[in-house]
Amino acid sequence: QVQFVESGGGLVQPGGSLRLSCAVSGITFRIEDIVWYRQAPGKQRDWAARITREGITQYEESVKGRFTISRDNAKNTVYLQMNRLKPEDTAVYYCNRVPNVSWGQGTQVTVSS
C-alpha cells in the first residue's frame, strides 16, 4: 500500500528555516510527480510546491523564492527547504503523488515569535 511519512516540522520564529522530508513507499517513486500541500487552520488543503519525475519544479506564488522542493530517488524521499518563514506559512504540511492517493499524518509547521 502507498504510504507517505512527513517529518521535520516544528516551531520556528519568523525569518527562520525548516527542512521537511517526505518518505514514500508502495509506489514506483522515480516515475511519480510529488506535491507538497499545506492546510492552515480553518482553511482547505492547498498545494505549495511540486516536483515532476524529471525534476521540474513549480511553486505556489506565495512561496516562490523562499521554498525549494527536491527529491532523492535513491531514498524515495522528497524534501521541502523552507526559508524566510512567515506566520502565514503556519500549517500542517503533507506530501502526495498526482493524482492523490491516501494521505499521511502530515507534519506541523508553526511560525511564531
Reported as a single tens digit per residue, the pLDDT across 60-98 is: 999 999 999 999 999 999 999 999 999 999 999 999 999
108: confidence class by pLDDT, cuts 50, 70, 90: very high
DSSP 3-state percent helix, strand, coil across the chain (nearest 5): 10, 50, 40
22-68 pLDDT, tens per residue?
Answer: 999 998 888 899 999 999 999 999 999 999 999 999 999 999 999 99
- Whole-number pLDDT of residue 81: 98
Q: Could you write out the DSSP letters of every residue in 58-102?
A: EE-GGGTTTEEEEEETTTTEEEEEE-S--GGG-EEEEEEESS--S
User: Cα separation of 93 and 45, whole Å?
Assistant: 9
Q: What is the pLDDT of residue 31?
A: 87
